Amino acid sequence: MPQFTPGSSFIADNRRKFMDPTKKLEKLRDIAEEDVVRLLAHRAPGEAYKSIHPPIEELEEPDCSVREMVKPTPGAAAGDRIRYVQFTDSMLFSPATPRIRPMMWFNRYRGVDPGVLSGRTIVEARERDVEAIAKEYMDNETYDTARTGLRGRTVHGHSVRLDQDGLMFDALRRWARDPNGDVKYVKDMVGGAMDKEVVLGKPLSEDELLKRTTMFRNAQGGAWMETDDPEVADVVAEIHWNRTWGGFQPFIKRDQIKGNKDVGVKGMKLYTPRGGVE
């Protein structure tokens, strides 16, 4: 079985659950498919999918053993154009993190092209496949209605404080909170007008977020990597050493680098802010 991620903490367990395609993710809500279409803003609800080529079964392709073995996704089979969905995750213990999302999608889907930045994750695929991914990952436990956002542009806000209503900051004000506590989108993913508001439901409680998160510590507390999961800290240190000194060549051992036996994480002297050496 693949080793999806190291660690023995509950955060490591959550990460493995999110990444492992054999693990079923809990469904927390059921957003209507036409509402997902509204939010993505690629087509109008009920509008036919636009295509970039005829359905595969109508194409006269030469014989290919790989093509015969690999079943096309629904969007590829129909010839759909490529579209995207983009998520942003608050640093205040959202369920998923930008680093975790592409790993989830690579392990759970075919025919996808994820990209990740510091606070957002985009995934490109055929249009109907994108809609299916968007719905599944807005319905399930990887999404919190206040700490996770669907944003096609002006994504900033993941690393700043929450608004007074508890929602992650959004410069385009795509969402709002009803008096009953439900979160609703009043604009689509790129900040455009919609013909109706889309209600996502109530956010998770702080206790639930801390229990479900895949994020290690921040200023608000939570699990600390170094003390609560030293195995992860050791792996991260080893990765950084190999990245810096070994050029990601794992066959190079630290003591084999001439003149650098004591250089690297295990032999490194740590300098404190006060100028001393630990």
The CATH homologous superfamily of the domain defined by 10-225:
Methyl-coenzyme M reductase, gamma subunit (3.90.320.20)
Strands 113-116 and 193-201: unpaired
- Cβ atoms of 37 and 43 closer than 8 Å: yes
Integer angstrom CA distances of residue 248 from 103, 206, 212, 240, 245: 20, 39, 32, 9, 8
Coil, helix or strand at residue 241: helix
Residue 256 pLDDT: 56
Strands 82-89 and 148-150: antiparallel
Rounded Cα distance between 263 and 257, Å, is 9
CA torsion angle for 124, 126, 132, 134 (degrees, to 10)? Answer: 20
Residue 50 pLDDT: 97
Q: Tokens 């690999």 appear where?
A: 70
pLDDT tens digit at each of 278 positions of the chain:
456 888 989 999 999 999 999 999 999 999 999 999 999 999 999 999 999 999 999 998 888 999 889 999 999 999 999 999 999 999 999 999 998 999 999 999 999 999 998 889 999 999 999 999 999 999 999 999 999 999 999 998 999 999 999 999 999 999 999 999 999 999 999 999 999 999 999 999 999 999 999 998 866 677 888 788 888 888 877 777 777 766 656 555 555 555 555 544 444 443 334 444 44
Which amino acid, 257?
Answer: I
Give which of 88, 92, 89, 96 is closest to 213, Cα–Cα.
96
Integer angstrom CA distances of residue 191 from 30, 39, 172, 185, 206: 23, 9, 6, 10, 28
Residue 20 pLDDT: 94
Q: How many Å from the N-terminal Cα to the C-terminal Cα in the chain? A: 40
Coil, helix or strand at residue 221: strand
Rounded Cα distance between 140 and 130, Å, is 15
Residue 27: half-sphere exposure toward Cβ, Cα within 13 Å: 6
Query: And the tokens for 76?
Result: 């590829």
* DSSP one-letter code for 269: P
In terms of DSSP H, where are the helices of 25-87? 33-40, 65-69, 74-78
Residue spans of the domains in the chain: they are 10-225, 229-278
